[in-house]
Amino acid sequence: GAGVSQSPSNKVTEKGKDVELRCDPISGHTALYWYRQSLGQGLEFLIYFQGNSAPDKSGLPSDRFSAERTGGSVSTLTIQRTQQEDSAVYLCASSNSGGAYIQYFGAGTRLSVL
């Protein structure tokens, strides 16, 4: 595709429910990143994939958060038993591992936990 695609664009859920957020990176990009951005705040790193493996998952805030990437392409971020403090915009980015490092961001998924 032309850019990084994220779905859904908005998600409203009830406290305690599980949610899945999807990211489709730019074709051919082997590196994929998830960030969380609370209202008016910075980019909180969650996890970084190189291919299907995650060499750095140090940013996942709790064991309720998990992510996977299959086929070196699409990634899913899962939040179990959502809490109100999970409400934020979840941004995905991808980059070419050929040393360019430039990250291209998706439009994000706005998650609201009621």
Partner 1 sequence: GENVEQHPSTLSVQEGDSAVIKCTYSDSASNYFPWYKQELGKRPQLIIDIRSNVGEKKDQRIAVTLNKTAKHFSLHITETQPEDSAVYFCAASIGGNNDMRFGAGTRLTVKP
> Which spans of this chain sit near partner 1 (rule: CB under 8 A)?
31, 33, 35, 41-43, 45, 48, 50, 55-56, 58, 91, 95, 97, 101-108
Instruction: Give CA separation, 74 vs 28, 68, 108, in Å.
Output: 11, 9, 15
The CB-of-57 to partner 1 minimum distance in angstroms stands at 11
Q: How far apart are the first and last CA of the chain?
A: 33
**Residue 39 or 84 with smaller CB distance to partner 1:** 39
The CB-of-104 to partner 1 minimum distance in angstroms stands at 8
The CB-of-92 to partner 1 minimum distance in angstroms stands at 10
Measured CA to CA, the distance from residue 60 to residue 38 in angstroms comes to 15
The distance between the two most distant Cα atoms of the chain, rounded to a whole number of Å, is 42
